[in-house]
Amino acid sequence: MGDLNLARNIAARIRLSEDIAGSSFEAQGFSGREQHKDSMLRNGLLISASVTPNLEDRLTEVCNRLHIPRSCVTAFVFSSPQIQADCLVDSDSTCVLRFTSGLVNLMDDKEFQFVAAHELGHFLLGHGACSQYRGDGSTEGYMIQRAGELSADRIGYLGVNSLDESIQSIIKAVSGLDERFLRFDVSSFLGQAGMLSSPGKGESRNSTHPSMLIRCRALMWFSMVVKSMDDLEKLSELEIKRIDKKVTTDLEKYVDGQVRARKGELEQDIALWKACVLILHQGSFRKDVQERMKQSLGLENLNGLKSFFDMFEAGELLTEANSRLKASLESAYQEYPRSASDIEEAGFRCAYSIAPSE
């Protein structure tokens, strides 16, 4: 017998810090999702002891290891050469898993279990059962979805209790090759990161998944501390934060460094134009204010603001400054809806330190 609440508590504890939990749907939020299961009953093969006993055994073992009642999970295989799996949360306590025949035929028992546990991780963490920030089309929304994949990988790893099997599953998925053509050398695969010509360019900002290479590196950091489910009982919050920091460093270096830098740019823009508004209200651009702006925002922004003051008539400056401040704030709330208020607050705080009220 499983315990879904226990399973969810475990998943929440190892959720990557950047995988922001949203608000779960109310019951009406699942309306219509039963059609997904009906479609699979018509067009797929239900995983069961009577028809697919081997797959049933693999899936049941994963559910037991993760403390998920098997009755919470309905799983199907459908015909497709693609190597894919997905999870749809269709109620507060149930989900539907789908595996392509291409994936099932490629993976051995343990590799399949990693994939199944990864998809169940999405169920336990509520991915797809909430709408806040996730899938909203914003830059930050995509960052949260990518972090969610790394969280699900941690649960995939716990579901199979093997780093090698977990990474082998990922290598097979990325290559489409089976054992005839592969020698599973994890260190060599991870070493591909050192061959990147321009790692700082990152990956697609609109991708919902980090690259397989980065997913494997993130799993490696996690596995160095967590060897099995039993280790979680001894793992402190500080140790989890240390793991998350290593993963975040990789994300900054290889995946979305430019996207993260954009947050800093928006904060600077807000600080600059808010400081400009304050300066205009004070009626002068004093030397001490200029020096503080140079120290806080750099010489380029200071010279840019001086040029701005020369571009417009005195009566136009405040309107134009407020317009630019508004545009910077709108960009922050559009691109980073979750953290926009923090960006705004930091920008304003910087502005008031540059041009404090008399």
Q: In this structure, what token pair is assigned to residue 69?
A: 């009642």
> Which residue is associated with the tokens 């109620």?
91
> How high is the pLDDT of residue 212?
84
Q: Where are the domains of the chain?
A: 4-255, 258-354
Residue of 126, 14, 116, 124 lying closest to 61 (CA atoms): 116
> How high is the pLDDT of residue 134?
55
> How high is the pLDDT of residue 183?
79
DSSP for 166-225, written as a single string: HHHHHHHHHH---GGG----HHHHHGGGGG-S-GGG-S-TT-SS--HHHHHHHHHHHHTT
Rounded to the nearest 5 percent, the helix, strand and coil shares of the chain are 65, 5, 25
Backbone angles phi, psi at 31, to 5 degrees: -55, 130
- Stated as kind and residue range, the H or E segment containing 354 is helix 340-354
Q: How many CB atoms lie within 10 A of CB 80?
A: 13
- Stated as kind and residue range, the H or E segment containing 47 is none
DSSP for 42-56, written as a single string: HHSEE--TTT-HHHH
CA distance 14 to 218: 13
- Stated as kind and residue range, the H or E segment containing 100 is strand 95-100
Coil/strand/helix, residue 118: helix
- Stated as kind and residue range, the H or E segment containing 313 is none
For residue 98, what are the CA distances in angstroms to 113, 275, 327, 339, 347? 13, 54, 44, 34, 46
Q: For the chain, which residues score pLDDT lower than 70? A: 1, 23-29, 129-136, 186, 190, 193, 197-203, 358
For the chain, the distance separating the N- and C-terminal CA atoms, rounded to the nearest angstrom, is 68
> How high is the pLDDT of residue 24?
60
Cα-based angle 52, 58, 61 (whole degrees, multiple of 5): 135
Question: What's the chain's Rg over C-alpha atoms?
Answer: 25
Q: What is the DSSP letter of 130?
A: B
CA distance 48 to 45: 9
Q: How many CB atoms lie within 10 A of CB 268?
A: 19
> How high is the pLDDT of residue 33?
82
Coil/strand/helix, residue 86: strand
CA distance 195 to 212: 15
Sheet with 45-46, strands from edge to edge, namely 45-46, 73-78, 95-100, 85-89
Cα-based angle 193, 197, 198 (whole degrees, multiple of 5): 95
CA distance 266 to 273: 11
Q: In this structure, what token pair is assigned to residue 196?
A: 């990147």
